Each structure stands twice: as C-alpha cells, then as structure tokens.
Amino acid sequence: MSYSSISHLTCPKCGSEYDDTQLNQLCSCGSPLLVEYDLSSLKGKKKEEVFDTSRNDLWRYHQLLPVRDPENVITLGEGMSPLIAMNTLGKKLGIPGLYMKDEGMIPSGSFKARGAAVGISKAKELGVKQLAMPTNGNAGAAWSLYSARAGIESYIIMPVDAPEITRKEVAVSGSHLYLVDGLISDAGAIVGGLVKEQGFYDASTLKEPYRIEGKKTMGHEILEQFGDSIPDVILYPTGGGVGLIGIYKAIQEWISLGWIKEDKVPRLVAVQAEGCAPIVKAWEEKKTESEFWQDSYTAAFGINVPKAIGDFLVLEAIYKTEGCAVAVTETDISTYQKSVAELEGSFICPEGAATFAAAASLRESGWIKEGEKVICLNTGLGIKYPESVHTAPRTLEKGASPDQVLGHVLV
C-alpha cells in the first residue's frame, strides 16, 4: 500500500481537476481546491488497517493526507491532542457531557501547527523554496517554524495588533517578518503582490490546498477518541473556517469508508465574536456566502477575519450537518476564559473561550439538548495572550507577617 491515497485536486465550485504533483494554488475560477483521495481502494478496511496506530501524532492518518513520500514529512510531533471531560463547568451549564479538545498542547501553542506540518511537508514535496503568507499571528508562527525545519524561506505579514508573542515566534525562526497597520485582509493584499511579482508560493488560508488537510485531522482524532459513540455537537471558533471545513471533510471520509452513518453525524457550530460575525450573519440570512464585515474587532484575534475565501464551504458544512452559527460578546469571551481556568484548571485562549460561551447560550436556548455530548475546540494556549488577563497582586515587604499577607488578623 502506498503512503498516501491521494488521487488529485478538485474544485468544489466548477468541478475542474488538477494534478497534486504540480504546484497549484486556487482554481482558475478563483475557488479554493480540495484534495481527493482514492477512498474506494480503502473501502471495507478497518480503522486499524488504514491508520498507522504505531504513531501518536497526526501522521497516523498519513493514508488520508496528501504527502506521497514519507521522506518529505516535516514533523514536530503535532496532533493527538487530549480530549478532556469538563465535568464541573459542564454541570454548571447543564451539559454533563461537555468536553474540550485541547489544541494548546501542540507545537507552537496553537492548532495552526497541524496545517503548517502538512502544508509545509507538501510544499517541500513540490520543491517550494520561498513562501509568503498573511496571518493573524498563530499561523505565521507555526508556518515560519515549520518552514525553518524544512529549509524553506518564509515572508510573514501580520497586523500590528496581532498577539506579540507570535512576532517573536516568527522572528526567532529566521523568517522575514513584516507588520501592517490594518487587518489580515490588508496583509493579504500585500502578499498578493509578492506572489505576483516574485513568484513566491502563496501560503494564504485556502490559497494552497493542503493546510486544510492538516486541520482535518482534528476531525479524525475526535471521531477516534470517542470510540463507538459519536459526539452530538462540535463548536469551533471560526475565522477563515479552515478547521471547520476540515472537520467536515474528516466526517465525510468516515462516511465514505463506512465507519459512521450519514444520518448520524455531529452538528457543526461556527462560533464568532459579535465584532466580526460574517458567517453568523450569512447563516441567519440563509445565504450560501458571506459579505465583508466592516471595521471588525475582537480580542479573539484568530477569529478576526472579515471575509473568508472558503465561506461557502463553512456554510455548507453547517447546513449539511444541521449545525448553526453563533456570535458571542467580548465580555462572554473573557468570562469563560476565566471560568475554564477556575473550574477546570486550563488557561485557554480567547478563541477557545468563545466556544464555551456559545455552548452556554445554545444550551440555554435549548438548541443543545439535555444529555448531548458536546465538544468545544480550544485552539490555542492562553499563555500566548498574556494581555487577556489583568492582574493586580499586592507587593509584600520582605519578611511580611501572615496577617499582612491575609490582610486581617489571624486568630
């Protein structure tokens, strides 16, 4: 059996097909391209025969990943993140079956490493030497680190407001780092120019077809980690929506391989911030595409994406799974970031906190039903966002007495 069952690339809009052994970006019609596998050759096999169970990272799914030659795999051990029961918070929210898939445990501190590992490995396979990408921070961090490991030169452009630690991750890896006084869409326009004039590989979200394959593995892991049962609801903090499209793609692969049934799949929920909710607006208006969100703002930086190129795929995933889209407030985001730390001992990122806020409101409205199994995706580490928590500790004199510490007289 070959290392990958990849067959070709296909356009979800116009149906054109492309060869994955050639360098491709968008379809000539402007749509992102998706990877197709020869699933019929795997049909009838058990999971243990298709998955490389000797590996405890995302490369256990190499058969359903696009890298043809294992020599090209660039890995830092990404994947197989823990699925953690959130009993205390779950009970409080009326969702006893609440879980968190914790992507903060992954190299570079965010799930972006999944997309980078697979995207960079395939770029290496295709002979890419230089790439450019616009980013809200975490993708730039992951892609520059994996580029360094692969010996690929990278040009990373991020908004000045992006989490500062991500600048350092880019800089320390030796990538070329630039800031733009604007949004990720403004960074994207500059990258477009570099790609056109310099011939760089365009690693923008969904402009290369392989990042989504890496993110897809979150879906495979969730389905594997749940064993024989299937979660009812998966909530995902949605910016470009690649993770959500990826999880949906994994679900479809499981259906094609006969491992789950089409009429019993998790309902996918796109979670956005009220200050940047183009997918929520489109879903509420029952549209199949979103509109550019003017003057977007949220402290959950990874989901500050005013217009996603794959919006139609995100919306399709929501409609097909009978999911929904929810916007949460900035206050809710910080409240749940605190609740998860206080009740469950995990310092999660604001984007992850948004999914818990959404789960709470969906349970309250009855959309999440009693006894359902619900997974919130925490897409990164809280410690990447030190400014999201404010502290005001008292400074003690050397030799301070216990009653000075406690602020009252001990009896």
Ligand X SMILES: *Cc1c(COP(=O)(O)O)cnc(C)c1O
The residue among 205, 208, 221, 209 whose CA lies nearest residue 58 is: 221
| Residue 106 near residue 81 (C-beta atoms within 8 A) | yes
Contact segment (CB under 6 A) with ligand X among 70-78, 149-157, 190-198, 231-239 equals 231-239
Any contact of residue 32 with ligand X (CB under 6 A)? no
Task: Answer yes or no whether residue 112 interacts with ligand X by CB under 6 A.
Answer: yes
Contact between 250 and 386 under an 8 Å Cβ cutoff? The reply is: no
Output 156 or 315, the one with its CB closest to Zn ion.
315
The minimum distance between CB 48 and ligand X, in angstroms, equals 29
Among 1, 2, 29, 196, binds Zn ion (CB under 5 A): 29
Residue 290 contact partner, candidates ligand X, Zn ion, none, CB within 5 to 8 A by sort of partner: none
Q: From the list 108, 138, 304, 346, which residue makes contact with ligand X (rule: CB under 6 A)?
A: 138
Q: How far apart are the first and last CA of the chain?
A: 74
Residue 14 binds which entry of ligand X, Zn ion, none, CB below 5-8 Å type-dependent: Zn ion
Copy the structure tokens of residue 89.
Answer: 């918070």
Which residue number, 334 or 379, has a Cβ lying nearer to ligand X? 379
User: What's the CA gap between 365 and 362, in Å, rounded?
Assistant: 5
Q: Does 31 bind Zn ion (CB under 5 A)?
A: yes
Q: Give the C-alpha separation, 53 to 367, whole Å.
A: 36
By CB under 6 A, tell whether 237 contacts ligand X. Answer: yes
What 3-state class would DSSP assign to 326?
A: strand
We find the least distance from the C-beta atom of residue 42 to ligand X, in angstroms, to be: 26
Nearer to ligand X, 60 or 112 (CB): 112
- Using CB under 6 A as the binding rule, whether residue 349 contacts ligand X is answered as yes
| Burial profile 306-319: b = 16 or more Cβ within 10 angstroms, e = fewer | bbbbbbbbbbebbe
33 binds Zn ion (CB under 5 A): no
* 379 counts as binding ligand X under rule CB under 6 A: yes
Query: Contacting Zn ion (CB under 5 A), which of 4, 5, 6, 11?
Result: 11
Q: What is the DSSP letter of 182?
A: S
Q: Closer CB to Zn ion, residue 205 or residue 337?
A: 205
Query: Does 13 sit near Zn ion (CB under 5 A)?
Result: yes
Element (H, E) at 153: strand 153-159
**Helix (H/G/I), strand (E/B), else coil: 90:** helix
Question: Contact between 189 and Zn ion (CB under 5 A)?
Answer: no
20, 169, 224, 351: which one contacts ligand X (CB under 6 A)?
351
Residue 105 to residue 47: CA distance in whole angstroms = 25
Q: How far is the CB of 367 from ligand X (least distance, A)?
A: 21
Q: By C-alpha distance, which of 336, 310, 308, 376 is closest to 92?
A: 336
Q: Taking the complex as a whole, how short is the minimal distance between the CB of residue 379 and ligand X, in angstroms?
A: 3
Burial of 96 (0-12, 13-18, 19+ CB in 10 A): middle
**Residues at the site binding Zn ion, with contacts judged by CB under 5 A:** 11, 13-14, 16, 27, 29, 31
**Residues at the site binding ligand X, with contacts judged by CB under 6 A:** 110, 112, 138-139, 205, 237-243, 302-303, 349, 351, 379-380
